[in-house]
Structure 1
Amino acid sequence: MQIDLVDRDVYATTGPPHEQLAWLRANSPVHWHEGEPGFWAVTRYDDVVHVSRHSDRYSSYRKLALFDEMSQDQIDLQRLMMLNQDPPEHTRRRSLVNRGFTPRTIGALEQHIRDICDDLLDKCTGEVDFVTEVAAPLPLYVICELLGAPVADRDKIFTWSNRMIGSQDPDYSPSPEEGSAAAMEVYAYANQLAERRRSHPKDDIVTKLLQPDEHGETLDENEFDLFVLLLVVAGNETTRNAASGGMLALFEHPDQWSRLAADPTLARTAADEIVRWVSPVNLFRRTSTADQVLGGQEIKADDKVVVFYASANRDTAVFPDAETFDIGRDPNPHIGFGGGGAHFCLGNHLAKLELRVLFEQLARRRPNLRQTGPARRLRSNFINGIKELPVTFG
């Protein structure tokens, strides 16, 4: 079989190349993929988890966690972001940021999220785009709440996120430079937020992160700006694309939509199955720190190693009937939020809460929702995104 796991045009047309990924899991689970540079494609669940949980062997810091190659200047800057760090520096940074994502803090948002969902659904009549009217605004409202930012800023955040993540999609950004410019605008915005909170503290994540922890440590200016950047992208894109991809999956599996409409409490397990099925983040890159063996293959020091979550989440060795979309699947040990270890998604509880509440309210209030046109996918091999999903609310 001809293998090409990075062709963005394929992702824009059909989504992840699941046929290729299934062949690799069965025949070449740690596969040398040609490219500039070439890389090891890791496709089985257990191997993805192994790489994820051994930051000492598979580094996010050496060449960053993103797939594309970057200049040394870009690498030096991006290394300040948690996403691109290894322990112990990552551990220190994450312990500071964790203060804003405790179960108590996230749990307190449930009614607020339910109110947001109800408000969005109240405004939807007739034919609309599910992405722009429901899936995208929900996490943007929540991000504004977390940051203590005016809700009016959500459109700016939406545009910045599109320009950074969609730099290879002509609908969002005409050049990679636009993505860099958007990042600089986010840095400036973060500085303004910090300045306001230092003079006017509030009960929000920004205030918490600007205050010293129990050891007297705080995030410096660069660290704070890069955290806001990470929140704007990760806190927006994953939930947004899981929500839109999940809605598309329910349309493509009408028996499951009928099942959810008949029992909205299934939204709890449906949220996890949606993340497994969609895998909003398709891949991350690591760099081997030493000569080692993975899946029977000899990996050399400094080799590029890429883990494919979209593949691991369809591994039949872990998920019975993995190609079946089952909103009642339980247990569901998907790794849509990462394979564990240092970089397990900080906001996973928040994302699952948003998805659970959204699909519960959709099932309760809009059981006759239906698709009225083809979905348009993001041209990206990193984010499994939906740009447009026409629906009618009746």
Structure 2
Amino acid sequence: MRIDLVDQDHYADSGPPHEQLRWLRENDPVHRHEGEPAFWAVTRYDDVVHVSRHSELFSSHRKLALFDEMPEEQRALQRLMMLNQDPPEHTRRRSLVNRGFTPRTIGALEQHIREICDDLLDKCAGEADFVTDVAAPLPLYVICELLGAPVSDRDKLFNWSNRMIGAQDPDYAPASEDEGDPAMEVYAYANQLAALRRENPRDDIVTKLIQPDDNGETLTESEFDLFVLLLVVAGNETTRNAASGGMLALFDHPDQWDRLVADPSLARTAADEIVRWVSPVNLFRRTATRDVVLGGKQIKEDDKVVVFYSSANRDTSVFPDAEVFDIGRDPNPQIGFGGGGAHFCLGNHLAKLELRVLFEQLARRYPRLRRTGEARRLRSNFINGIKELPVVLR
């Protein structure tokens, strides 16, 4: 079988190459993938978890966590972002940021998230685009709430996120070289928020993060800016694409939609199954810090190692009937938010709360929801995204 796991046109046409990934899991689970540079494609669940939990062997810091290569001068700034750090620096940074993501803080948002969902669903009753009218605004409203930013800023956040994630997609790519750098625009926005909160502290995550913790530690200006950038992109893209991909999965499996309508409490397990099935983040990159054997293959120091969550989440050794979309699946040890270890998604509880509440309200309020056209996918091998999904909400 011809293996090409990074062809962006394939992702735009039909999503992750599940047939190739299935063959690799069964025949060559740690596969030497041709490219510039070549890389090791890790496709089995246990191997993905192993790489994720051993930062001392597989670094996010050396050459960053994103798939694409970049010059060393760009890496230097990117290494200030938690995504591109290893312990112990990552541990210090995460302990500072955790203050804004305690279970108590997230749990207190449930009623507000329900109100946001109801408001969105009120506004788009009838014909709508599920992505731009429902799936995208939900996490953006929540991010504005976390940041203490005006809801009117959500369109700016949406635009910045699209431009950063969709740079290889013709709908989102810059129209000209004169178009500003979205990352720099987010940094400026973060600085404005921080300045406002220093003058007028509030009960929001920005106020918490610009203040010293119990040990007197605080985030530097650059660290804070990069955290806001990560929140704007990761906090938006994961929930948005899990929600739109989950809705598409329910359209493709109408028996599961009928189950959810009959029992909306299934939204709890449906949230995990949607994340497993969609795997909104398809891959992340690591770099070997020393010679190491993985899956029987000899990996050399500085080799590029890429973990595929979309493959691990369909590993039949972990998920019985892995190719079956089952909203009642329980237990469901999906790793759509990372395979554990230092980089397990900080906002995973928030994302699952948003998904649970959204699909519960959809099932209760619009049992005859149906799609009216084909989904259009994002041209990206990093984010398993959907750009458009026309529906009628009834």
Report the CA distance shift for 1:302/1:179 in structure 2 as closer, same or farther (over 3 A): farther
Q: How far, CA to CA, are the matches of 1:327 and 1:220 in structure 2?
A: 43
Task: Name the counterpart of 1:45.
Answer: 45
Task: Name the counterpart of 2:124.
Answer: 124
Task: Name the counterpart of 2:158.
Answer: 158
User: Structure 1 segments of 4 or more deviating over 3 A?
Assistant: 174-180
Shift of residue 29, structure 1, vs aligned partner? 0.1
Q: Provide the aligned length of Structure 1 versus Structure 2.
A: 394
Shift of residue 174, structure 1, vs aligned partner? 3.2
Shift of residue 393, structure 1, vs aligned partner? 1.2
Q: How far, CA to CA, are the matches of 1:301 and 1:337 in structure 2?
A: 27
* 2:349 partner amino acid: H
- 2:300 is equivalent to residue 300 of structure 1: yes
Higher mean alpha-carbon deviation, 122-131 vs 328-337, is at 122-131
Instruction: Tell me the alpha carbon deviations over residues 256-313 of structure 1, each in whole angstroms, 9 at most, x when there is no partner.
Output: 0000000000000000000000000000000000001000000000000000000000
Provide the TM-score with structure 2 as the length reference. 0.99
Task: Name the counterpart of 2:247.
Answer: 247
Contact kept, 8 Å, 1:167 with 1:176, in 2: the verdict is: no
* 2:52 partner amino acid: S
Shift of residue 179, structure 1, vs aligned partner? 9.1
Task: Name the counterpart of 2:275.
Answer: 275
Q: How far, CA to CA, are the matches of 1:159 and 1:361 in structure 2?
A: 27
Task: Name the counterpart of 2:196.
Answer: 196
SS at match of 1:318: coil
Provide the TM-score with structure 1 as the length reference. 0.99
Higher mean alpha-carbon deviation, 68-77 vs 221-230, is at 68-77
Task: Name the counterpart of 1:134.
Answer: 134
* 2:231 partner amino acid: L
Instruction: Tell me the alpha carbon deviations over residues 194-216 of structure 1, each in whole angstroms, 9 at most, x when there is no partner.
Output: 00000100000000001100100
* 1:242 partner amino acid: A
Q: How far, CA to CA, are the matches of 2:126 and 2:101 in structure 1?
A: 37
Report the CA distance shift for 1:131/1:195 in structure 2 as closer, same or farther (over 3 A): same
Q: How far, CA to CA, are the matches of 1:228 and 1:11 in structure 2?
A: 28
Task: Name the counterpart of 1:27.
Answer: 27
Q: How far, CA to CA, are the matches of 1:165 and 1:147 in structure 2?
A: 21
Q: How far, CA to CA, are the matches of 1:95 and 1:331 in structure 2?
A: 29
Shift of residue 177, structure 1, vs aligned partner? 6.6
Shift of residue 124, structure 1, vs aligned partner? 1.3
SS at match of 1:363: helix
Task: Name the counterpart of 1:8.
Answer: 8
Task: Name the counterpart of 1:342.
Answer: 342
Q: How far, CA to CA, are the matches of 2:179 and 2:365 in structure 1?
A: 38
The alignment yields a C-alpha RMSD, in angstroms, of 1.1
Task: Name the counterpart of 2:261.
Answer: 261
SS at match of 1:41: strand
Task: Name the counterpart of 2:222.
Answer: 222
List runs of 5+ in structure 1 lacking aligned partners.
none
Q: How far, CA to CA, are the matches of 2:289 and 2:196 in structure 1?
A: 42
Shift of residue 42, structure 1, vs aligned partner? 0.1
Task: Name the counterpart of 1:362.
Answer: 362
List runs of 5+ in structure 2 lacking aligned partners.
none
* 1:123 partner amino acid: K
Q: How far, CA to CA, are the matches of 2:179 and 2:309 in structure 1?
A: 24
Contact kept, 8 Å, 1:167 with 1:179, in 2: the verdict is: no
SS at match of 2:181: helix
Task: Name the counterpart of 1:65.
Answer: 65
Q: Percent identity?
A: 83
Shift of residue 358, structure 1, vs aligned partner? 0.1
Task: Name the counterpart of 2:85.
Answer: 85
Q: How far, CA to CA, are the matches of 1:123 and 1:192 in structure 2?
A: 31
Q: How far, CA to CA, are the matches of 1:6 and 1:329 in structure 2?
A: 30
* 1:357 partner amino acid: V
Q: How far, CA to CA, are the matches of 2:171 and 2:373 in structure 1?
A: 18
Task: Name the counterpart of 1:76.
Answer: 76
